[in-house]
Amino acid sequence: MIGELGGPLLGPGGVGGLGGPVGGQLINLSPHLPILPIIVPVLAAAFMLLLDERVRNAKAIIGGLTTLALLITSLMLVRTVTGQGVDGVPQVLVYRLGDWGAPFGIVLVVDRLAALMVLVTAVLGFAAFLYSLARWAIVGPRFHSLFLLLLMGLNGAFLTGDLFNLYVFFEVLLAASYGLLLHASGRGRVKAGLQYIAINLASSMLFLIGVGLMYSVTGTLNMADLAAKSATLGPGDLALYKAGIAILVVAFLTKAGMWPLSFWLPTAYAAASPPVAAVFAVMTKMGVYVTLRMLMLAAGDQGSGVADPTGVVALLSPWLLVGGIATIVYGSVGALSSRELPRLAAYSTIISSGTLLAAFGTADERVIGASLYYLVASTFGVGAAFLLSEPIGRRRETEAVQVVEPVFGDDFETNLRSEFEGYEVGVVIPGSTALLGGAFVVSALVLVGLPPLAGFVAKLGIMSGVLAHESVVSGLSWTVVAAMVFSSFALLLAFVRKGIEAFWQTGEDVTAEVSSVEAVSIGLLLSVCIAITLAAGPSLRYIDLTSAELAAPVGYSQAVLGEEP
């Protein structure tokens, strides 16, 4: 099937041109829609590796078109899964790679959750890529390719229905993220990168151990098939299976930044260059996503009429709930202690992960629905905060981007450095201080969860869901609410302090320099935040249906396993 796909898609012309002929050509491609978010960025990235570093305009155009194509593709995916399926069964797209049948071949599965995550990645990726064009893309080699490969790994991880395939995509996105974290080099980045790589290599091994254990007792790697087979395991095998799933989830909780596994996160995220850190915000959500996926597949009754037949949900939810609360508290204390905006944004990421994990720990359909809404809002909020951190910091001390002498003499870097002086894409827009201030307030409102923006709607939804839900692990529901209120309060204090320091402090007043490209990308993220608040009705309906679909994964399993090749 990949071979057939090669015709219309392969070659740089096809990739670059994807943004253009949407009307005519993509309709023929519609059965191949699920593979596009993976294959388009990888082809564009591979092609850009062939180009010389100095043709950065061409690279910027190819990269921009690719991220735009990803945005369009993900919108089409969302539209497809929103369409009415047969007999009211939710629409789930299954793409069989190489046309091999489900339990044996590798499948890509697009349900509402996967489509939503791909869309979030695409929006954030598009904004961050645009932002990077202002200056960051050229301070080190091969930024564009690495960036697209990271997006490809994320999309693959969201779309795949196969556990080992997930490992491969996980490694692809990690490898790209190592390169991106080290992008622009410098002592701080290399130090943070060293620890980041070590912890991720270790967690990949936990992932492999988990996969191995699960395979050894079920003989399958397909997620839907795993859920079905695990329901019929004997007690001895079931213990191994549960151990496997627990070890696997630990690997992803490390990625999501659950408290004791999250000490690497603030340093790494604060050290990364702003556009990279913004995309990293969605990387933590990948860990959260896989945790939710494992949880919900295990929760289905698999036709036996008993919910949670394997006891995996009962095993994981208390850990998620308690771990989530601890993460929220850790993130809040960290947010209070951080002086710089990148660090504050990194701790906001941790708080966001903690809130999501605690919400998943309740294993309640309503709470999970509200938490998915929170996931979208907080991801964009954190992304905008990371992007804002640089222009705001530039206002105080206009220091050039750090380009430190590389360890290994690279002609390219030294050449670039001279070119970098005064390089700026777009015009520096006037009135930028007011604009920056406004954007800062909006992103703070989303993250803190104050009305009238999406963060408030989401947090309110989670809290009311938690309180209405009786059977939450006894007595912890009030603790969840208290932790969330505390985190909002801590973030409010931290953001207000940072805002006063950045905008109201007297002293030499330098006009902030924001290039139009940066302003547009930050504005894009924040307007999405505002849009999902204004269109809260449709977006909440989509998300409610998503959580309903997750609560009854029969549709997912049937779509994956039901069809004969």
Which residues make up the interface to another protein (CB under 8 A)?
Answer: 164, 167-168, 171, 174-175, 178, 182, 185-187, 190-191, 193-195, 197-198, 201-202, 204-205, 208-209, 211-213, 215-216, 219, 221, 404, 407-408
Angle between helices 274-299 and 341-361 (to 10 degrees): 10
CA–CA separation, 455 and 533 (whole Å): 9
The smaller minimum CB distance to another protein, of residues 187 and 541, is found at 187
* Least CB distance to another protein at residue 164 (A): 6
Q: Is the bond leading into 452 cis (omega within 30 degrees of zero)?
A: yes
* Least CB distance to another protein at residue 349 (A): 23
Residues 272 and 346 sit within 8 Å (Cβ to Cβ): no
Closest CA to 526 of 326, 413, 386: 386
Tokens for 222, please give them. 């397909």
CA–CA separation, 27 and 131 (whole Å): 31
The smaller minimum CB distance to another protein, of residues 241 and 542, is found at 241
* Least CB distance to another protein at residue 167 (A): 8
The smaller minimum CB distance to another protein, of residues 82 and 195, is found at 195
Residue that the structure tokens 């050229």 belong to: 138
* Least CB distance to another protein at residue 201 (A): 5
Residue that the structure tokens 């990726």 belong to: 125
The smaller minimum CB distance to another protein, of residues 212 and 431, is found at 212
The smaller minimum CB distance to another protein, of residues 271 and 519, is found at 271
The smaller minimum CB distance to another protein, of residues 400 and 404, is found at 404
> Hey, CA dihedral for 103, 108, 110, 115, is it positive or negative?
positive
Tell me which H or E stretch contains 461.
Answer: helix 454-468
* Least CB distance to another protein at residue 190 (A): 5
* Least CB distance to another protein at residue 282 (A): 22
Side chain identity at residue 483, one-letter code? A
* Least CB distance to another protein at residue 407 (A): 4
CB atoms under 10 Å from CB of 14, counted, come to 16
The smaller minimum CB distance to another protein, of residues 199 and 481, is found at 199
Instruction: Read off φ and ψ for residue 406, nearest 5 degrees.
Output: -70, 155
* Least CB distance to another protein at residue 387 (A): 26
CA–CA separation, 351 and 491 (whole Å): 9
> Hey, CA dihedral for 18, 21, 22, 25, is it positive or negative?
negative
What's the first-to-final CA gap in the chain, in angstroms?
12
* Least CB distance to another protein at residue 123 (A): 29
Cα torsion at 55, 61, 65, 67 (round to 10°)? 70
CA angle, residues 326, 327, 333, in degrees to nearest 5: 90
The smaller minimum CB distance to another protein, of residues 411 and 470, is found at 411
The smaller minimum CB distance to another protein, of residues 198 and 427, is found at 198
